[in-house]
Amino acid sequence: MKIRNIIGIAAATVAISSCGDKMDYHEYSTYDEDYVKTMFSRAAGIVTSAYNDLDTDFGNYSGAMLSSATDESVYSHAGNTIEKFYNGGWSATSNNDASMWVKCYRGISYANLFLDKFKDEKFLEYVTDLDYPQELGQYNNLQYEARFLRAYYYFELVRAFGGVPLLTSYMEADEANSQSRRTSDEVFQFIIAECDGIKNLIEKNYASPSYGTLKSKNESGRANNLAVLALKARAALYYASPLFNPTNDNERWHQAAVANKELIDECKSRGMKLSADYAALFQKDNWKNTEECIFVRRVVSKTNTFERYNFPVGLENAGGGNCPTYNLVESYEPGDIRLTATVAQNGDTWPNATLETFVGGANGMPIAYATPTGYYLKKYVQNLKITTSGANTEQHHWVTFRLGEFYLNYAEAILNYTNDPTAKAELGMSAEQAINVVRQRAGIGDIPTGLSATEFAERLEKERFVELAFEGHRFYDLRRNMKAGNIKYRTIKSMYITKNDDGTFNETVTTDATTRAYWDNKMYLFPIAQSEILKSGGSLTQNPGW
């Protein structure tokens, strides 16, 4: 993509937050490189544009979430594109996520463009301005933000496709398209090295006096050093996992534990902890949370689209949507506060009426698009009005990184490293202690002691399932641990409810292994779109089996 074109694409569409206020966005329609170099804000716009493709999943697949390609949920509208992930329809020419490749490399291109062309300007014509030191300080920080964003997009690519072309300088389209793939090892090592290289250089706190707050704009919606540490910690866990670590190199598990503990310790040093209100982490003001949020991807536009997708059928304009499975529900322990924050059940008041998910009920079968599992989704769904008359809208913000994940990441890494739930190695915290931090917030107390490493791993898997439900983890967790092909995770359990004449209910757990019976091990990695293969002129090779 030519420089004049990539600058011209920078558009004011979203804002991003690191648990702070929103970023200012500007639209750029002037393409000249020298013109961009004349003002701080124009150069900053290149990096701002690189933020625009950060991942969210508010129904990316025509309303379906990635959860509905797993045992986490079932999308109530048959024939949705999400089914390609499990019915054999997924291919290099019928690719659900062909846009992922394009979006990630677009973000990488913006980052490389800034780093190659714009990061060393001094803007000397503004040196006499009172705000010049602050402006220059904020501008100098952009290079570290750009490197974070580039590493982030490479993580998105490597966890989906494995090894990909590793572009670390700005290239015109023909040159970029002709690059060959690097190994997944090389890509993960690049991500981790980049995070190490910038973790002590990027700003720690955009609200601090050292960074400075200009009256004319708000720059707090940026990735800080906690986001860098979080990306490194997550990437290190994936790098140690079976899909990318076929020889089970134990040192990778050690380094994953070290990386996750580094983040946890840094968060604790700032007074961060798991928030008591789990449900609020996924509601409209979650970006304001300074206890647990590490990085929240903000979307400025107000909508009720996600609610229309997911509100219970029977309500006006409601679509039923991504219905939690009994697989998920049975994984919660009694008294777990996360269940009521995540799943709407028969008899619950949600969103403003008593739910009837039983057969013949106001929100149950046989109404078209009624829940096929007996449950509806609450997590991330806001209590908005979606009626034709009197509808309202709200902003929706995606939690990219939060502290709860990294206690579980740490528990997994140190368990695999030591093969002992109680071992601390040199890190001062055992897998038991880490998982108990998460469980205590959930209100279910400590995990039983005396579990074997295998038993603990099974409990940890369930803990990730319920703690991180509908946050985009389950799909990739099953793949990185090479469990997605196991029929256990492809058998969908539902709650079939009927109402008796006396007002009581009969509940029967049903199982269905037929709709997701198809599996091929090639599906552990995504196919690269055939159009990208053709564009490369043969330089880009396809993943095995596709």
Q: What is the pLDDT of residue 207?
A: 77
**Residue closest to 240 by CA, chosen among 454, 480, 525:** 480
DSSP 114: H
- Determine the Cα–Cα distance for residues 465 and 56; give it in Å rounded to an integer: 19
Q: What is the pLDDT of residue 531?
A: 93
- Determine the Cα–Cα distance for residues 309 and 492; give it in Å rounded to an integer: 21
Helix axes 184-198, 225-240, angle to 10 degrees: 150
Q: Is the peptide bond before 351 cis (omega within 30 degrees of 0)?
A: yes
pLDDT per residue over 214-243, tens digit each?
A: 554 555 568 999 999 999 999 999 999 999
| Secondary structure element (H or E) that encloses residue 143, with its range | helix 132-161
**Residue closest to 275 by CA, chosen among 518, 476, 19:** 19
Cα end-to-end distance, the chain, whole Å: 28
DSSP string, 294-326: EEEE---S-B-HHHHHHSPBTBTT----EEEPH
pLDDT per residue over 229-279, tens digit each?
A: 999 999 999 999 999 999 999 999 999 999 999 999 999 999 999 999 999
Q: Model-level pTM?
A: 0.94
Give CA 477 to chain center in angstroms.
Answer: 12
Q: What is the pLDDT of residue 3?
A: 46
Asked if 11 contacts 27 with a C-beta cutoff of 8 angstroms, the reply is: yes
The list of the chain residues with pLDDT below 70 reads 1-31, 209-221
**Residue closest to 467 by CA, chosen among 278, 298, 313:** 278
